[in-house]
Chain A
Amino acid sequence: MIERKLLLGDEAIALGAVHAGISGVYAYPGTPSTEITEYIQANAPEVRSRWCTNEKTAMEAALGMSYAGKRALVCMKHVGMNVAADAFVNSGITGVNGGLVVLAADDPSMHSSQNEQDSRFYGKFTMIPILEPSSQQEAYEMMRYAYELSEQLRLPVLMRVVTRLAHSRAGVEVKAPMFQNALNPDNERTHWVLLPGNARRQYASLVEKQPQLLASAEASPYNKTVAAEGKARLGVVACGIAYNYVMENNPQQLGVKVLKVSQYPIPEAAIKALAQECDALLVAEDGQPLVEEQVKGLLGAGYVLKGRLTGDLPRMGELTPDCVGKALGVELPQAFATAQNVMPRPPALCQGCGHRDVYDALNKVAAEYADARIFGDIGCYTLGALPPFRAIDSCVDMGASITMAKGAADAGVFPAIAVIGDSTFTHSGMTGLLDAVNDKANITVVISDNLTTAMTGGQDSAGTNKFEAICLGLGVEPEHVRVVVPLPKNMEEITRIIREEIEYKGVSVIIPRRECIQTLSRKLRQKKAQQ
């Protein structure tokens, strides 16, 4: 019997992986990838699924599971790929034993991110197959295909999705699940010990596999031509979700041919064939113009190629059915102009949130110094950049608050204050704190601990109950590890402690600790429901 479920793209990926027989999912939460792991945690107790400390530990643990012969999934948002990159790129050199799929959820238009980097570059760079589903159904089915491909080529496979697929719901037909692989560790040490001698052989083998990767993409069931008859004025190379936006504009009626591309390396023969039948080609791809650049090389300068680089599609931001329609020559008349009485409504820290009290205190004390600088980090507390707080001077990447404060202090900035959340601290802040301690940097680090990974919806935080021990272990002096409860009634104590620690010429850590009010009220609701 065919079962049909209404699933988010992320949930379809999760269920596809579970039904493909994975034994473990390894991930750090990050929008728009978080719901994949959450779905597995809630629905597949037979799969190992606890959150990891960061994307690098996740990637390495998954590689270990693959080494042992079992299928593993790694999930992250696009910027997580930067953190996992060392392990990810080298997993292309070792290859895999059990199937290994790395899922990167990109966020073009930066709905919840600090850049819109395109993860497909990582796949190309690592020289492994990339899959890019266009629908929730395809995402589900592709997972099984991805694990088969991974084990057949003995390489990791990168699956790339974007926010609009990850966070969109649709009906998905599901199949019978597969069994997990048996334990079967790889005995071939030369694959895994990447001493230069071995690594050179492994890299040569990766290079030798490239024609196989191309042949697989040329024959892929996910790369297909939707043909208008005979010659056409325009052909579209529609990658991943861009295929939907093209199809939404009825290309058959427009006399436009479409080549759907959902498996890379790009199917060169199919693209050349399409180019021959058309007067010009348009490359529609969400993210950066990776395929457009490659097709340009493939067809040469004489061929008319359109895309993001030529301005036929916007250079940045996510694609929409509107901008793709425009590139195809379709424009829908707008019935109503954009309204006048509409203002932006940015997100804000919740009323009653402990981060609010932290920023109130920091702003009070910082105002007493002529040149105080507060280096922020990634999480809910980044909203401290907005009114009414306007408290932070930087927010760059996970963990950068501590290390940037250190560098600025090294240069002479005083006071240099870092604000970092509990989960971000264990993700990427601990090593920076060790640098600061070893260098006796004059910085004050505020670890705003709300006992959860709040921004992504309240996942467990790796360091809960361990922060004082971690800081002491890294060498922060015990009298300069201070814990406070961020509540308005404690404002006097908090500001006094901040002042004292700023005046201390060395590394101090202040830990304001109070549970996130979202997770707290969720717990209270659950408790009430149980009664």
Chain B
Amino acid sequence: MDGVGDIPARDFRALVADAGVIIRFGRFAFRLRSPVEHLADEVHRMYRYHPVSLEGFADFHVEVRPPRTLRRWFGKQLEFHVDGSSSFFPLPHAQAFPLLEWGLNWCVHDAVKDCLILHAAVVEKDGKALLIPAPPGSGKSTLVAGLVHQGWRLLSDELAPLALDGLSVEGLARPISLKNDSIDLIKGLVGEDAFSETVRDTVKGSVALMRPPRESVLSVRRPATPAAVIFPKFTRGARPVSQGLGQGAGFALLMESAFNFSVLRRRGFEALADLVARCECYEIGYGSLDEGMQLVEDIHAAA
């Protein structure tokens, strides 16, 4: 199967505007249709290594387009549609790509019922994966981008599909979402080319997405074994600290970040219980990316 980048950008734009393209991430696929040219261009760059096809089965039929109501005449706005229905408020035209990414996150955690979907990043090195759940603003994505730049494999930046036996976690390898000061920090490490345009004034401040490395995309179907769970907290100027949380506290925090816990009920509970029984949970605090990455390396080495 070809990668998105094998299609010339102009052709890709035309396909997206017409019948749409099917882009595969991990075991899922979405069909994207959109008349918005800059969105097609961003997808073309950010999903460069993802497999693409023009027909077949797609899990999510996604469209990003102007509203068809009178609203379209007031300010340039776009809506995210899945299977023809829109569940989100329209956003300004410039936010098309973040809107698509947030919409796709919603598609995955709303649909999937055969694994526990955690709001967490997953990175892997030497066969040992780390789960990094965290609320927005804790520095999770920055840490993940830094680790990926150091050669860690990216499984996911936002959603971690944990198998119900708690033994493995799947990859999605979609772009990493960076905010505010982190954008320039990571651009300084990996270069401009891997980044989408920076979108200012979103609900999360400035947002830019970073393309996942080619190796991570190509190996996305290889699940990883969780070895530890890390709750990061970046505070400017803070000294690096790392402490074990214990099973109970780790479980409670993970439960808060589980999207489909209520549908899975007992099976979700047991998956989390199995996870914390086998993986240590840590809380780390740090004041710079380098310190944070060092704490993660230490935990990884000990796990």
Asked whether A and B interact, the reply is no
B interface residues, Cβ below 8 angstroms from A: none
Query: Which residues of A pack against B, CB within 8 Å?
Result: none
